[in-house]
Every structure is written in structure tokens, then in C-alpha cells.
Amino acid sequence: MSVRTYNPSVRVGNWNEDLCLEEEQLKDFLEKKDRGELTVQKKTNFLKTILRNVELSKPSDGYLHIGDRVCLLHTPTKTVVSAHVTSARAFDATRLESGCGVTCSRQLTPCPRNVFVITSYGESEAKEGEVVCYGQPVALVTLPDEGGQLGLHSDRATFTKHSRFSREQEVLLEEDISYNSAWKFICFSQDERLETEGTPVPANTRVFLNHCKTNHNLAVHEEWTYKTPFGRELEVTGHTHLNTHKAEDVHNHFMVVTGSLEDAVASLSPSS
């Protein structure tokens, strides 16, 4: 077995071929660097792209509308629902890919990773700009281009398909906008749910995000975390957690934020 025990500067064996090979490798490396094709450059560029600042919608009437750009803020943990980008997928990706998971992040800057567009769903195709009402099925879709235009998707948990830690209903981002991507807003107060059904949803107020197919609410688990390029982030699932009073507990408390995300977080009391 032939093993090179000397570096190419020592004139032993195929020293000239070794020198030429190293020169070619260096030349190839520099060319890729100039074109931005190095793996580390691709990853850095992609992460910068999905972290660029995005402006949220600012409705003048204080209600949510079809076409609004919003963030989904989990009020007890003060985290926002975000695409789960792993280090491995960040190397070659140019945009968010279908099938990627969802986590809750402490990064509170609106960006393609955590901004959703409220779009109409179902037979009553609401037009852009129309007010969203409680109980109305809508789809929550990421931004186009680098956002991938993916819908917030969930389905019933099975033995083989469930969230990693809590084993509850998995929440993903999928390109196919089907009934699995239909959600509706539910009034936060149990006493007012019947009378608010069909009325406009105010922006920047606490609500429950209910999955139409499974009737489970979007939930966040502070006790379960994922390691991501952006730090530790919380697990997001579809499951309705009830307290001793048969009311939804803190796992399910959300706010659909328009305008300033920082102002919305600052307005929360410590007990929210």
C-alpha cells in the first residue's frame, strides 16, 4: 500500500504531481470563494436572507384582514412561531422548504422565517382586504420567494407521525394548502365565544388558533426545546391543553400581532 510520508516539497515519489494537485485544489477553492459557492458561504447567505427585516401590516381599523402579514406570538413565553431551519438544511437551501418543522423562537424581529400571511380558505373565498371573523377558516402562509409560500400544516398524531418530544400532533410547513392547513381564530374568553362567532377578530389581542380538521389548538411546550442555528427554540404542536376549570391553559395562549412586534411584547403583563 502506497502512503505518502513526506510533503510535496520533498522530492520523493510523484512530487511534481502532488504539487500540481495542491495547486489545482487551491485554484478551485479560490474560484468557488469568489463565486460564493463555498458551503459556509451558502449557509451564511441563506441565514441572512431569511432573517432580513420584514414590515408587518398595520390595519387602520384595528382588525385582522385577508392578506395581512402577521406574527404568531405565544404570550406566556414571549416567543414567535418560526420555521425550524436545521444546520444541515441551511447549507444548500435558497428558501424555506416544504416539510420543514415549526418552533417558537425568542428572536422578535419580523422576518421571512416568522411572518405569515392570512389567506382565505374554503368555498367562501374571501377577497384580499376583507375582515377576518371568528370561526372563519383561513390559511397561514409564509411569504413568497425565500419564505417558500408554505402553509402552516397539521394532522392527527399517529404511532409514526407525531412531535418529537411531547408525542402530540405535529405542526409543519407544507407547500400543499389542503384542509390540513385550515385554521380558525377562537375568542379568548369562554363566556363570549357564542356571541363573538362571526364577528371581526381584533388585531393584537389574545386568541386561540384552532386547527379545523382535528379541532386541536396550536400549542407551545416551554419544557421541550430544539437546538437550531439561532439557539434553543421551543416545540410547537397541535393539542388543546385544559386546566382544572376545563379552560385552555397557557400552552394555547397566542396573539396575532400586526404593527410592531416589540410593542406587542412590551404590552404583555408578566402573567400573560
Q: Where are the domains of the chain?
A: 51-266
Q: What is the DSSP letter of 10?
A: S
- What is d(CA 180, CA 245) in angstroms, rounded to the nearest whole number? 29
Q: What is the DSSP annotation of 212-231?
A: TTT-PBEEEEEEEEEEETTE
Q: Which DSSP state fits 13?
A: S
Looking at residue 123, its pLDDT comes to 66
What is the pTM assigned to this prediction? 0.82
Grid coordinates in use for 216? 386541536
State the 10-residue block means of pLDDT for the chain, 272 residues long.
60 72 78 64 66 91 95 96 77 78 94 94 80 95 90 94 93 94 95 93 96 96 91 95 91 96 86 60
CATH number of 51-266: 2.80.10.50
Q: Which residues of 18-52 are buried (b: 16+ CB within 10 A; e: fewer)?
A: beeeeeeeeeeeeeeeeeeeeeeebbeebbebbbe
Query: Cα–Cα distance between 80 and 236 in angstroms, integer?
Result: 10
Beta pairing partners, 72 = 256
Q: What are the CA-CA distances from residue 185 to residues 9, 93, 188, 226 (Å)?
A: 71, 32, 9, 27
